[in-house]
Structures are given as C-alpha cells and as structure tokens.
Amino acid sequence: MLKIFNTLTRKKDIFQSIKKNKVGIYVCGVTVYDLCHLGHARTFLVFDMIIRYLKYCNYEVNYVRNITDIDDKIIFKSIQKKENFIDFSNRMILEMNKDLSMINLIQPNAEPKVSNCISNIINMISKLIGKGYAYIGKSGDVFFSVKKYTNYGQISNQTIQNLQSKNSFYSDLSVKNNFEDFVLWKLIKEKNEPYWFSPWGKGRPGWHIECSAITEKYLGYKFDIHGGGIDLLFPHHENEVAQNSCYNKDFCVSYWIHAGLLIINNSKMSKSLENSLFLKNILKKFDGDEIRFFFLSAHYRSPLEYFEEKIKKSKESFKKIRSAVLFFNSSSCSSYTNFFSISIEEEKHFHNAMENDFNTPKALSVLFSIVRKINIFKKNKDPKNVFLYSFKLKELSKILGFFTKKSMSLYKEKINKKKLKENKKIKDIHLLIKLRNKARKNKNWDLSDLLKKKLLKFGVVIEDKSYKDLE
C-alpha cells in the first residue's frame, strides 16, 4: 500500500488514483531564463523516481510538465544579451533538454510552453473576471481578488494578515485594490517587451495563471498529483489553487508533493543568489547515474546540502552497486532464466521502503545488502545465486532509474575512452624512455634531461644507476 506525504493534509496519505490504474501528474517546470542548475535536477529527478515507481506499480501515468517561456527575467536577459526574446528562450529550452537528457529523465507526455497556451490563459482570466474573482486595476493590469476566495491559505497554512508585503511594482496599492492581490495579466510597460493581444490590452500573463490554465487544459479540473519544489508552495501553488477553485468549484488535486531544496553555502540554491551550479558543469565530473544516486541517497523531502566532496563520496559508494551490475551484464547466463520468477527477501524490504513515501535511502541500503550477498555467493562459488541476486539487483536498480540503456552505453563509452588514453600514455612513456636511453648513449645530455622532464610530467621518476642498465 503506497503512502505519500501530502502537503495539503500534512501527513502520509494512502495513495488512491481517481481513475483505476491511471495517474495524472503535473510538475511545475523551468522558467528558461538561464541554464538548468542542480536544484532543478533534484526536483525533476525526484518526480522521475516517483513516476517510475508508479509505472512499476502498473499505473498508466500521464505526466505533464510546463515550460515557462514568458517571464520578466527572460525578457530582461534577452535584452541584456541583445537576443530576440523567442530565440533566447528557444535556445535555453534546447540547452535544458540536452542537460536533462543526460540524467536520464523520463520524457513528459506533454511539455507545453506557456506561449502556446495564451488563449487558454485569456479564457481563464475572462471567466474569473466574469465571476467577480478578478478585476482590472488602476494600472490596467488584471488582478486576482484574494479575499473573494475564502479558502485562501489552505495549502500553505498562511493567513492574509500575516503576509509581509514586498516592494515591487505589483505590490503598489496605487495599481491594485489590496496588497495580497496578485497579477493575472501584465500590460506592456516598455516598447520592446513581447506581448499578446487580450481584451485588456497588449500584454503577457502573470506567473501563477499559466500553471492553472495548463493543468486545466491537459489534466482537467480533477487530477491525482501536483508537484514542484517546496519553494513554490507559497505563493505559487496557493495562488494556483485559488485560481482553479474559482474557475471550477469542483477543482481538486488529490496529492500535493513537494521536493526538498538543494542547499549550497547554507542557503537555498537559486540564481538570484548567484551561487548556482549549472547541471552542465556538474555533468563534466559526474555522470547521470552518479548524480541520481547522490540525490536518491537523501529522502526527497529533506533539504540536501551540496558540496563537491559529498557527491564524490557518494560516487565511490555507487561504484559498489555499479560494478556488481556490470559483472552481471558481462556474465549473463541464459540457462538460469527460470530463476526470474523466484523472489528474494530483499525485494520485500525494497518495496516496503518505497511504499513508505518513497524512502529511497532505505531502498538503496537494500541494494547494498544484495551486493554483499552476491559477493558472498561469488566467494562460495554459487553461480546460481550469484545470477539470481545480480538479476534482482539490476531489476530493483532499474525501478529507481539506474542503468538505463543510455546511461550504460555512456558509461561504457567513458570507460573505453579512459582505457585508450591509458594505453596511449603507456606507449608514450615507453617511447620516451627508449629515446632517452638512446640520447644518453650518444651523450646528448640536453635532450636526455628534456626527456627526463617530460617523463616526470607522466609521473615517471627516473633514477639512473650506470650505463649497464641501458639497453
């Protein structure tokens, strides 16, 4: 029985899908004003793991993740880079897809761009105005009237009275009726801003309305799971609930799942703090499976502190599992295929861990105990059990998204390259030694010293004894 921590009820709820064997899930995606950072990677990896597990449990999953390609920061960045706004966001989307594919994420069933959903957004805003939940402010921008929605604060447990106002254009009471009201449609302020036509003038949607319109369009007013980073809980998700509930009174998300944040230098990782680590850069040092292991070795809801030493250590731990799986791949024995239906004790532990709100650290510890058993069976020369447990290890790892075809082939490629490099290095060293010996024989001391220095660069220390050593 799968239990999931639901932010709405603040406890672990038993999972039950609305439609039998089907799950609709929406995850708030990236605002593409820069490259993907490691924080994005964590959130999407968490939901990737959740979706893989649901699929493993025989659910047909409809996974929707939006791309915010309209946003003040995107506009600002594109102007700064003197790049057309559309070109800039498209370039960032390409980069995002490239980076995310390297950590082997399941592709969403739909990945709508906000710019393709403007008509849905306009419809939703019109209806909200019609119902009296939204109004045109003094500035001409459209605002949501928070006080009209009596359940506001339900998911984030916030009350309007306790909110602190921040200074920005849209927090100014000269443009809207109440400070808690948030913007649904922004009119263009500068000539070079991108815009779309609307009943309220040329402009663009506010941030919160896009997710409401997209979930409505792709998943309807009732769906199973809504996810995102915990930093989106307030105001983003609170506002989404308000918008959708006012748009359709039967709106209901069964489970709200929030991923814990990646912490770096004792604070949340975000670009506004200029401490971001781009996924692209991390991928130069660690592969997809290693990054996956690093994230899954902490519970998905707890904050996770990042520093390089930590991921290096986790890479070392992961080696243990990887080498066992590689050994299995290289020694598969088809005569044991009748073993596939046999179950082992560890599978139960693994499933219990996953069913308990996706306890991946515990599930991983089960993998380690399988590895130990495999090693013992190897030592005891028990090939049947080596095969059985190795097979199970691989199957369970795959549930968590490890050892996909792509990640395996990338890893093999990396290893082969390394081997080639090693071989070349050894050849080079032998050649240099030969040349140096020749130079010494010819008493060409300058060349000999030069070659000695070159050898030192390869880590080879030359200690000459006498000419007798020379060949």
Partner RNA sequence: GACGCGUUGGCAGAUUGGUUAUGCAUCGGAUUGCAAAUCCGAACAACUCGGUUCGAUUCCGGGAUGCGUCUCCA
* 303 contacts RNA (rule: CB under 7 A): yes
Question: Which residue of 92, 129, 142, 261 would you call a contact of RNA, by CB under 7 A?
Answer: 261
Long-range contacts of 130-134 (CB under 8 A, 24+ apart): 131/246, 131/247, 133/246, 134/184
CA 196 – CA 85 distance, rounded (Å): 13
Scan residues 154-213 and list those touching RNA (CB under 7 A): 156-160, 162-166, 168, 170-171, 180, 182, 207-208
Question: Which residue of 8, 110, 188, 233 would you call a contact of RNA, by CB under 7 A?
Answer: 233
* 120 contacts RNA (rule: CB under 7 A): no
Pairing of strands 222-229, 203-205: unpaired
**What string marks each residue from 17 to 46 as x (binds RNA by CB under 7 A) or -?**
-----------xxxx-------xx-xx---
Contact at 8 Å (CB) between 172 and 162? no
> 139 or 375: whose CB is closer to RNA?
375
First-to-final CA distance of the chain: 73
* 443 contacts RNA (rule: CB under 7 A): no
* 262 contacts RNA (rule: CB under 7 A): yes
Scan residues 334-353 and list those touching RNA (CB under 7 A): 353
* 320 contacts RNA (rule: CB under 7 A): yes
Scan residues 125-164 and list those touching RNA (CB under 7 A): 146, 156-160, 162-164
Write down the least CB distance from residue 400 to RNA, Å: 14
* 280 contacts RNA (rule: CB under 7 A): no
> 10 or 406: whose CB is closer to RNA?
10
Contact at 8 Å (CB) between 144 and 182? yes
Placement of tokens 């998911």 in the chain: 155
Question: Which residue of 97, 369, 404, 444 would you call a contact of RNA, by CB under 7 A?
Answer: 369
CA 262 – CA 229 distance, rounded (Å): 10
Write down the least CB distance from residue 311 to RNA, Å: 9
> 56 or 234: whose CB is closer to RNA?
234
* 359 contacts RNA (rule: CB under 7 A): yes
> 352 or 409: whose CB is closer to RNA?
352
Question: Which residue of 266, 335, 338, 341 would you call a contact of RNA, by CB under 7 A?
Answer: 266
**454 burial type by CB count under 10 A (0-12 exposed, 13-18 middle, 19+ buried):** middle
Cβ contacts of 135 within 8 Å, gap of 6 or more? 129, 142, 143, 145, 177
Count of beta carbons in the 10 Å neighbourhood of residue 184: 28
Write down the least CB distance from residue 271 to RNA, Å: 7
Q: CA-based diameter of the chain, in Å?
A: 100
CA 355 – CA 351 distance, rounded (Å): 6
Write down the least CB distance from residue 430 to RNA, Å: 20
